[in-house]
């Protein structure tokens, strides 16, 4: 795979992550834990693949909360959103 192809895939991930941050904020405001769970699950793996370890770790922690039978706190999700916005800027 060429460097151009990898750069293009990484750019698409950045756009997706920013869209996910917006969707997380909306789901948080709407009180939609199902949507939050789906988003954090996707981010947990994808962010790690692209080298965004802080985002991946925060998303994994939130995903782990769901797996453990509790929803992550609002602060945990807000931290994830802030990390995405910071890293994708």
Report field, pTM of the whole predicted structure over 0.75 = yes
* pLDDT over threshold 90, residue 22: yes
pLDDT band at 3 (very low <50, low <70, confident <90, very high): confident
Q: Look at residue 39 in the predicted model and tell me its pLDDT.
A: 97
User: In degrees rounded to 5, what are phi and psi of residue 73?
Assistant: -75, 165
* pLDDT over threshold 70, residue 80: yes
* pLDDT over threshold 80, residue 48: yes
Structure tokens given for 88: 């994708």
Residue with the two structure tokens 């834990």: 33
Q: Look at residue 1 in the predicted model and tell me its pLDDT.
A: 65
Domain enclosing residue 76, as ranges:
3-88
Domain count, the chain: 1
Give the Å distances, CA to CA, from 42 to 2, 21, 26, 31, 70. Answer: 25, 12, 17, 19, 18
Which CATH number does the domain housing residue 38 bear? 1.20.120
- When computed from its CA atoms, the radius of gyration of the chain, rounded to whole angstroms, is 13
């Amino acid at each position: 795979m060429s460097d151009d192809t990898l750069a293009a895939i990484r750019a698409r991930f950045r756009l997706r992550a920013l869209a996910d941050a917006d969707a997380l904020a909306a789901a948080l405001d709407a009180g939609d834990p199902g949507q939050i769970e789906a988003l954090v699950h996707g981010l947990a793996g994808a962010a790690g693949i692209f080298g965004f370890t802080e985002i991946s770790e925060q998303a994994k922690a939130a995903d782990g909360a769901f797996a453990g039978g509790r929803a992550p706190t609002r602060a945990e999700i807000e931290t994830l959103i802030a990390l995405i916005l910071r890293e994708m800027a």
